[in-house]
Amino acid sequence: MAKITVKPFQKVLIANRGEIALRVIRTLKEMGIKSVAIYSEADRNSLHVRMADESVCIGAAPSSLSYLNIDAVVTAAKITGADAVHPGYGFLSENADFADAVSKAGITFIGPTAKSISMLGVKSTAREIAIKGGVAITPGSDGVVGKDYKQVARKIGYPIMIKAALGGGGKGMRACFEEKDLDLMMKTAQGEAKANFGDDRVYFEKLVLNPRHIEVQVAADNYGNAVAFAERDCSMQRRHQKLVEESPSPFVTPQVRQKLQEAAVKLVKAAHYHGVGTVEFLMAPNKEFYFMEVNTRLQVEHPVTEEVCGQDLVKLQIEIAQGMPLSITQKEASVVRAHVVEHRINAEDSDKNFTPCPGTIEEWIPSGGLGVRVDSHMYTGYTIPSYYDSLIAKLIVTAPNREELLKRSERALGEFKIAGVKTTIPFHQKILKNEDFAAGNMDTGLIERMLAAEKNDKSEK
């Protein structure tokens, strides 16, 4: 093992907002590390600003003028004397230029190197790393597609999935079932990729029908050690956006779990990765799985894994960034202590095509009790700005088994009281009542089928 050099942090700037910024601040407090919050003019009254030891306004409300402004964020870290920057998720968390700028300023970036982000951030390159690491991938194009994209699609065979080479969150993705639709789907995917990531390059993958979205949380230190935790099943999605995540998956056997973990560790080691990240897979109905992508950051749904394994993943990130070797073994990481689900509560009207509903919270009474955790930056009187993501809370429920978990989730959703804005709580209650979900028979198309059936019922009435 290489010589261990530990550099404890005295102060960390969180390059994010809202719920995840507050989440990081709480761990920093427990570790005795000072925190610095950044905020836009629209977030002046956000809870993460109140909870931090220091705070700096970095710009106007639009994220392009504040949270995405690399120079402003790095300057804030410099003037406050921060030793390190935690990127959270979203915004600049997977931006290699940001990681590089932080490092060049003599500040530690709590995450992988800019080189790792670049390699794994381009999904076509990540596929090449997976192949070298011996991890199965879906058939697809060898890197980004060019002018011969029609011939490439024919070689793969329809249906195919067109994917943006950069980015994530379901942006720049289109399914194409026949060649006659390929030109339009290409134009749409490329336009969306350009608008969201500044890069219109795309690549192709064979479309796996009725798949599950299974992901594996990993952690790797600077000394060649890596561990993988029990999988999260993130199949409950709408338009490639996750709504419900759970662990362990009701579909994955212990034998398949071990294979998933081994594949995830192989991949991060092949990429010389360090930090916390997530390896995402598509799983076919026959339980064969294929590498999809790596998220080189903390996931929104990381609390699911924390509750399953009993580890603070933010603390683990910080320890790795300080130069400490992993404090957990693979045997410990593989322990499944409970069954856990996360319901993403968004300020959206699910009866009106999930239209965002910014506004003022008139009443805020979060759920509580045994096995219930709420991660949120909301409070009574807080005004949700219209400039950012509509996520307002994560309801994380833990129980000894899935049957008890669903009952506890129903109770927790029922007692979560939010007034002043529409939320997706009623839709999550519908999910719990869905027979397929209750039986654990999910795939990435289940929510869309639920919505279609609901629409048909309304039209018949």
Q: How many helices (H) does the chain have, and how many strands (E)? A: 16, 23
- Cβ(387)–Cβ(62) below 8 Å: yes
Instruction: Report which of 60, 107, 103 is spatially closest to residue 82, judged by C-alpha positions.
Output: 107
Task: Specify the pairing of strand 160-164 against strand 363-365.
Answer: unpaired
Written as six digits, the tokens of 430 are: 């519908």
Q: Pairing mode, if any, of strands 391-399 and 339-346?
A: antiparallel
DSSP category for residue 229: P
Nearest-5° angle of CA 367, CA 372, CA 378? 45
Beta strands 34-40; 11-14: pairing state? parallel
Distance of CA 385 to the CA centre of its chain: 21
- Residues whose CB falls within 8 Å of the CB of residue 349, separated by 6 or more in sequence, listed in order: 355, 357, 422
Would you call 402 a catalytic residue per the annotation? no
b or e along 292-301 (b: 16 or more beta carbons within 10 Å of the residue's beta carbon)?
Answer: bbbbbbbbbb
Strands (E), 45-151: 54-59, 84-86, 108-109
> Among residues 17, 297, 344, 373, which one is catalytic?
297
Question: φ and ψ at 94, to 5 degrees?
Answer: -120, 30
Show which residues are catalytic.
297
